[in-house]
Structure 1
Amino acid sequence: MRTFPILPILAFAATLPLAAQFQVHLSPKTDQAFEDYRKAAETKLDGRPRFSSGLKPGQVEIAPTNKLGSMDVKDGMIHDWTAAIVVPGATVDRTLAVLQNYDEYKNIYRGDVTESKLLRHDGDLWQIHLRMVKKQIFTVVLNGDFDVHYRSLGNNRWSVLSRSTRIAEMDGDRELPPGTSRGFLWRINAYWLIEPRPEGVYLECRAISLSRAIPFGLGLAQPFLTTVPRESLQSTMEATLRALH
């Protein structure tokens, strides 16, 4: 059986500028596959909690929204995970205040977000900028712009829809054109549900994201592509819990 020195290759590649690594371009077909998936998912949003019972206060529950959490599309992968937590002692007003404090995301989500800024606020629409950092085998730095819509569902329940409008990877101090990168994250949308509970607040987040397909011959990139979406959602929920305490 032949073996290939993948680890040395990856170690060497990590020292090269992004232009010399396995850079890819987001194709229209891949982007359209995400749009089709997003639209289908959004038509099924009904404001009902996915985890209706059995949650232990203060403990994050997370599960794939589809069967495996990730699915292959043309030259890419769609990742779809849902997490929930009951935050003991929290209130809906306090939860909204934390989620809308975008300038402080660099502190609330420290480690995952290094820069955060509210760009514009008009009624229930918030436009924000985040610089996000993901580390596993690779370190990936991304600039992201998002439109965030808040909607009252009545009875002090809220839904929050966050859509990425622009994601660009950094190559040192230089920003690469959107859609031209190593492809670890091309799109990400988040769908929050907030509702009061006798013991505090039920907080749910569904994250749908788009990345490149696993590169041929570089299977060690798979953990980054398949586990980071879940781990990022887990980290987001835990950081939100800390901010609400």
Structure 2
Amino acid sequence: MRRVLLAGFLAFAYPLPESAGAAELRQETTEAFNHYVRVTEARMAEGLRDGRSFLWVDSLHELQRDRRYAQLREGEIVIERLETLEIEQPIKVPDGLVHHWVALSFVPGVTLQQVLTLLQDYDHHEAIYKPDVLRARLLVADGNCFKVYLRLHQKAIITAVFNAEFDVTYFPVDQSRVYSRTYSTRIAEVEHADRLDEREKPIGKDRGFLWRLNSYWRFQEKDGGVYIQLESMALSRRVPALLAWMVNPLLKSIPREYLSRLLTSTRAALTNRSAAASFGAFPSVKQLSTQFFLVAPSSGRS
């Protein structure tokens, strides 16, 4: 059984057969993905402003919302594929695919601070998520902002290894709610990993499994535990038409499996007694700033 790709992030790089060959990330692909992100983040900001839909489930109709909450409290992982529309039309990304999903879980018997402590302890994510995270290192910590390095290992149809860096920012809303925003700043596919001839493929000129990865976590303490939500947007190469019949079913099944394992592993780490006993033992992990934000400041990304 495969375990989750990332510690602390949505992590799925979609597999394509070796015969798909090399791909190049084009400027228009990057710009289109960034536009998709901006439109999506505008929707997220609106949800924060109205105060009624902090979690995705809160935006559902009453009966469906109640059913989803019941599933979460019973220990299920709720996962849905999303697509952001603009003027009720799909947003086109030339030569690229956007993989947009949301997943939620409920962890009973823990506090918001315990959840944040675990997720911000980036140096120890390798122990929680190995072998999918081969290495993890906190590079910079400045208040509620972090820069982290992860070596990611993906094994589905084929094996892929990535050196990746991420900027992470946490935004407290109030005493019971916090959200975070994570942007990949560098993703390089590694060739011949852990061999003497190991090298990175040129960024944006690789097999196109994972070019960008944005992750948006939300945490809310209520009902005797913490609800954890992860919304993720990943960019990969477009599936060649001749391979679509084989690959497209995987695009629906693999992210669901990875997201489920990610949140399951996170919940297991939080509820493990030895892990719980170690909360607060790592000096690099600090309480979030008490400055509250109702809406995240503009990222300024283009």
TM-score range, shorter chain: 0.7 to 0.9
By how many angstroms is 1:198 displaced? 2.1
* Number of the residue aligned with 1:83: 103
1:125-140 equivalent positions in 2, closer than 5 A: 125-140=145-160
How far apart are 1:138 and its partner, in Å? 1.2
Task: Provide the rounded CA distance (Å) in 1 between the counterparts of 2:242 and 2:226.
Answer: 46
TM-score (norm 2): 0.70
Alpha-carbon distance, 1:230 to partner = 3.1
Cα distance between partner residues in 1 of 2:256 and 2:234: 11
RMSD (Å) for aligned C-alpha atoms: 2.1
CA change 1:196–1:151 in 2 (3 A) is same
Identity rate of aligned residues, in percent?
35
Structure 1 Cα separation of the partners of residues 96 and 215 of structure 2? 19
Task: Specify the alignment match of 1:215 in structure 2.
Answer: 240
Q: CA deviation at 1:56?
A: 2.9
Query: Counterpart of 2:38?
Result: 39
- Cα distance 1:108–1:72, how it changes in 2: closer, same or farther (>3 A)? farther
- 1:5 corresponds to: none
SS of alignment partner, residue 51 of structure 1: helix
Q: Distance in 2 between matches of 1:111 and 1:64?
A: 26
Question: Does 2:66 align with 1:49?
Answer: no
Deviation of 1:55 (Å): 3.2
Look up the SS of the partner of 1:188 in the other structure: strand
Deviations 1:135-167 (A, max 9, x none): 111111111100000010013210011110111
Contact in 2 for aligned 1:79/1:208 (Cα 8 Å): yes
CA contact (8 A) 2:72 2:104 kept: no
Q: Is the 8 A contact 2:112 2:226 kept in 1?
A: yes
Number of residue-to-residue matches in the alignment? 227
Q: Which residue of 2 aligns with 1:115?
A: 135
1:171–1:223 Cα change, 3 Å: farther
**Does residue 1:230 correspond to 2:256, yes or no?**
yes
- Give the structure 1 partner of residue 281 of structure 2: none
Q: Is the 8 A contact 1:83 1:206 kept in 2?
A: yes
Distance 2:168 2:43 in 1: 19
- Whole-angstrom CA distance in 2 between matches of 1:179 and 1:227: 26
Label 1:227 to 1:158 Cα distance change in 2 as closer, same or farther (>3 A): same
Looking at secondary structure, tell me which structure has more helix per residue.
Answer: 2
Whole-Å separation in 2 of the counterparts to 1:217 and 1:140: 22
Could you tell me whether the CA contact under 8 Å between 1:209 and 1:229 is conserved in 2? no
Q: TM-score, normalization: structure 1? A: 0.86
